[in-house]
Structure 1
Amino acid sequence: MTDLKIISLNVKRLNNVVKRQKIISFLKKEKHKLVAAILIHRNLPLTIEKVIKDKEGRYILISGFLFRESVFIGCVYGPNSEDVSFFPNLLTHVSAIASPYLVLGGDFNCVPDPRVDKSPPGGELSPKSIRLIEFCSDLEICDSWRVAHPTDRDFTFFSCHHQSFSRIDLLLSSRTVLDRMEECSIRSCPLSDYSDESLFIEYITKEWNVFMTTNKTEDVSPSLLWETAKAYLRGSIISYTTAQKKASMKEQLSLEHIIQKLEVQFKISRSKTILKKLEAARSALNQLLTKRAKAAIFFDKHKL
Structure 2
Amino acid sequence: MAYQSAPLKIITQNCRGLNIPERRTHLLQELKKKHVAIAMLQETHFKEGSPPRLRNRHYPNNYFCNHPIAHKSGVAILLAAELEFKELECTQDSQGRYLFLKGTIADKINTIATIYVPNKRQAPFLRNALQQLEDFTDGILLIVGDFNTPLDPTLDSSTGHSCLSQHNIRSIRQSMEALRLVDCWRTLHPTVKDFTYYSALHNRYSRIDYILIAQEGLSHLRGAKIETGTWSDHGSVEIELDSPLYRPTAWTWRLNEALLLDLDTKEQTQQALEQYFRENDSPETSPISIWEAHKSVIHGVLIRIASRKRKAFMHEMVDLYQLISTLERQHKRSQLNAVYGELMEHRRKLKDLILKRHLRSVQRTKGFYYIYANKGGK
SS in 1 for 2:193: coil
Q: How do 1:1-304 and structure 2 match up within 5 A? A: 3-37=7-41, 38-82=77-121, 85-122=124-161, 125-126=164-165, 129-192=169-232, 200-203=261-264, 206-207=267-268, 210=271, 240-303=305-368
RMSD over aligned Cα, in angstroms? 3.1
Distance 1:184 1:235, change over 3 A: closer
Deviates more, 1:93-102 or 1:124-133: 124-133
Letter in 2 for 1:290: L
SS in 1 for 2:27: helix
Letter in 2 for 1:170: Y
Q: What residue is the counterpart of 2:48 in the other structure?
A: none
Q: Which runs of 5 or more structure 2 residues have no equivalent in the other structure?
A: 42-76, 233-257, 282-287, 372-378
Contact 2:149 2:162 in 1 (8 A): no
Task: Determine which structure has the larger helix proportion and give its number.
Answer: 1
SS in 2 for 1:103: strand
String of CA shifts for 1:21-76, please: whole Å, max 9, x gaps.
Answer: 11121122222222223221101111121222211111222110011111111111
Letter in 2 for 1:12: R
String of CA shifts for 1:58-104, please: whole Å, max 9, x gaps.
Answer: 12221100111111111111101225652244124311223331111
Partner Cα separation in structure 1 for residue 269 and residue 9 of structure 2: 47
Contact 1:207 1:233 in 2 (8 A): no
String of CA shifts for 1:158-182, please: whole Å, max 9, x gaps.
Answer: 1101011111011111002222212
Task: Determine which structure has the larger strand proportion and give its number.
Answer: 2
Distance 1:83 1:264, change over 3 A: closer
Distance 1:152 1:167, change over 3 A: same
Partner Cα separation in structure 2 for residue 28 and residue 240 of structure 1: 24
User: 1:203 offset after TM fit, Å?
Assistant: 2.6
Deviates more, 1:149-158 or 1:232-241: 232-241
Contact 2:157 2:205 in 1 (8 A): yes
Partner Cα separation in structure 2 for residue 118 and residue 145 of structure 1: 15
Aligned residue-pair number: 291
Q: Which runs of 5 or more structure 1 residues have no equivalent in the other structure?
A: none
Contact 1:52 1:60 in 2 (8 A): yes
SS in 2 for 1:96: helix
User: 1:2 offset after TM fit, Å?
Assistant: 7.5
Contact 2:265 2:305 in 1 (8 A): no
Q: What residue is the counterpart of 2:74 in the other structure?
A: none
Contact 2:259 2:265 in 1 (8 A): no
Deviates more, 1:165-174 or 1:83-92: 83-92
Distance 1:212 1:66, change over 3 A: closer
Contact 1:23 1:191 in 2 (8 A): no
Partner Cα separation in structure 2 for residue 65 and residue 157 of structure 1: 33
- TM-score w.r.t. length of structure 2: 0.68
- TM-score w.r.t. length of structure 1: 0.82
